[in-house]
Amino acid sequence: MPEKRAKELTFRPAGTPFDPSIVPRKQGNQQLESTGAGRRLKQDDEGNERGHRVTGRANKSPDDDPSANTFVRTVGADVAQAHGYNHLLSGGELGILRPGNISRGGVDAITAKVVNGKAQIFLNDFTDVDTSKPSNKDKQARWFKELQTAVADNRLDFGDPATNAAVVKAIKDGEVYVRTVRIDTAPHKTPDKMLPVTVGTPEKLDPQ
């Protein structure tokens, strides 16, 4: 690929450090995402950055087309996850942590609702309409640690000190909730239709 084209696609040269900063989404003059909402690369025991590889999710049934299922279950799942996140932001929530790729473990996205200076924080679990999501306290505790990382070291920045303070106070006050967000991918068969999103009832988190 020509270097000019690589730069246009924001590729970075091999060996250069990963830059996790993002251009936050805005609505008018309001910043809808923290500047620290981008995903960080994991590090190995020696402090070297490791990428997040995408693993194809193929249906192994011999009656199915493996390539088609790999696309739908991997790329399609990433698209659905991003759509769910955008739906939450369009509904008035603020992004603390964007979705990563579907192969990456951990919380799918973290958002906050701030009203009159008070915030509630949501650890969002994106899924389809048919998948069961039983409560898992160990997993939720790990998600809470991801929230703590997303607001540490001046990473949290909505361009408004009052909003930043409301989010920090919500964490201290235990106003953190786990929530399932279901995206119906059936309308993919009709490209001009938006994917329906159903936001589940929040469950207050007990990180202990």
Task: Per-residue pLDDT tens, the chain, 208 aa: give them.
Answer: 788 888 887 787 888 877 777 889 999 999 999 999 998 866 444 444 455 555 545 555 545 555 445 656 677 788 889 999 999 999 999 999 999 877 677 899 999 999 999 999 999 999 988 888 888 889 999 999 999 999 999 999 999 999 999 999 999 999 999 999 999 877 655 655 678 999 999 999 976 6
The predicted structure's pLDDT at residue 119: 98
Structure confidence at residue 177 (pLDDT): 97
pTM for the model stands at 0.80
Indicate the domain borders of the chain. Answer: 61-208
pLDDT at 151: 96
pLDDT at residue 46, as a whole number: 46
Cα 48 from Cα 100, distance rounded (Å): 20
Residue 4 CA: distances (Å) to CA of 7, 15, 71? 5, 18, 30
Q: How far apart are CA 56 and CA 72, in angstroms?
A: 10
Q: How far is CA 175 from CA 100, 109, 113, 180, 185, in A?
A: 24, 16, 11, 17, 31
- pLDDT score for 76: 77
